[in-house]
Structure 1
């Protein structure tokens, strides 16, 4: 896996969507995504309680991208800038040649095939551009939609020795997709 270089942001497109850089204009949607108590419970994260946390989060993501520590895309339909979700590659392990994928969609956009389309694009980026040998995902066992999506995209449940960064989150599963040979 190559050392990432995001000095030029890699905007991506699918047949229906643009995966673009976040801006501070996205703070209200980021707040919506990150303040949902159920989503926070499933991901082991503390829910946001103010819009200021969303601004801080966007700035932190920008700093991580600038430091080549993650790549984070906002998801929007091609005909609008309105953010509907986000997807990222992070937790780069250069020696092991692995990356982790994370994603989220506003509830009204779930179960419409959006994340399946976007995930395929991001997985291709991880393998083809970044040179990853495997992509990891850590859905909650209580999130059957996410598990079903990963399995549909070819991810397999991994052996128990793979640990999540939030290993204290009960019910966190480990899925892995190996690069095509």
Structure 2
């Protein structure tokens, strides 16, 4: 799989623009990645300051520049507010595979934004990237995330475990559903 994200794939839905993360997003990314509710089910290092948030943005930008991942800001069209993020990474050639990851600020949950973004990313992955398999790793108690995955035809993989993350469960989507 040879991807080229040097020209970033900006995607649009009815209410959203999915665009590249940039340094102007530093405060919003810091707020999202340090939010207690967002992090309740995510095992990750949270940024301590804006400098660490900028370092995260640099990391994400480098992944895209090196075609190792693609990470979109979910932005509302009506007010250009950063609502959350969604991305694809951990590509595997043999299986035409990518892992999908996502987060949304609590102020914008339960409004269908993530589902709208999810649908567009899956369409992009299947049609533009020719992916055949998506996997998502989510906390076993994150019912909203599990419901989102099931809504988009992901299937729970009870026999599999996420090495190093004992509380995570794995969902998989295969084929162009």
Q: Deviations over 1:142-166 (max 9, x none)?
A: 11000001001110012524x54xx
> Per the alignment, do residues 173 and 19 of structure 1 end up closer, same or farther by CA in structure 2, a change over 3 Å counting?
same
Q: Name 1:68's counterpart in structure 2.
A: 67
1:71-110 matched pairs, under 5 angstroms: 71-110=70-109
When the two structures are aligned, how many residues end up with a matched partner? Answer: 177
Aligned partners of 1:40 and 1:46 also within 8 Å: no
Q: Name 1:16's counterpart in structure 2.
A: 15
Q: Deviations over 1:13-67 (max 9, x none)?
A: 0111000111111011111111134533522102221111111100111111000
Q: Name 1:172's counterpart in structure 2.
A: 168
Q: Which structure is higher in strand share?
A: 2
SS of the counterpart of 1:174? strand
Aligned partners of 1:75 and 1:86 also within 8 Å: yes
SS of the counterpart of 2:168? coil
> Per the alignment, do residues 68 and 62 of structure 1 end up closer, same or farther by CA in structure 2, a change over 3 Å counting?
same
Distance 1:67 1:80 in 2: 31
Structure 1: segments with no counterpart, 5+ residues: none
Distance 1:3 1:158 in 2: 28
Q: Name 1:136's counterpart in structure 2.
A: 135
Aligned partners of 1:43 and 1:169 also within 8 Å: no
Cα deviation for residue 170 of structure 1 reads: 2.5
- Over the residues paired in the alignment, what is the CA RMSD in angstroms? 1.5
Structure 2: segments with no counterpart, 5+ residues: none
Cα deviation for residue 169 of structure 1 reads: 1.8
Q: Name 1:156's counterpart in structure 2.
A: 155
* Displaced runs of 4 or more, over 3 A: 37-41
Cα deviation for residue 122 of structure 1 reads: 0.2
Aligned partners of 1:37 and 1:47 also within 8 Å: no
Distance 1:38 1:123 in 2: 26
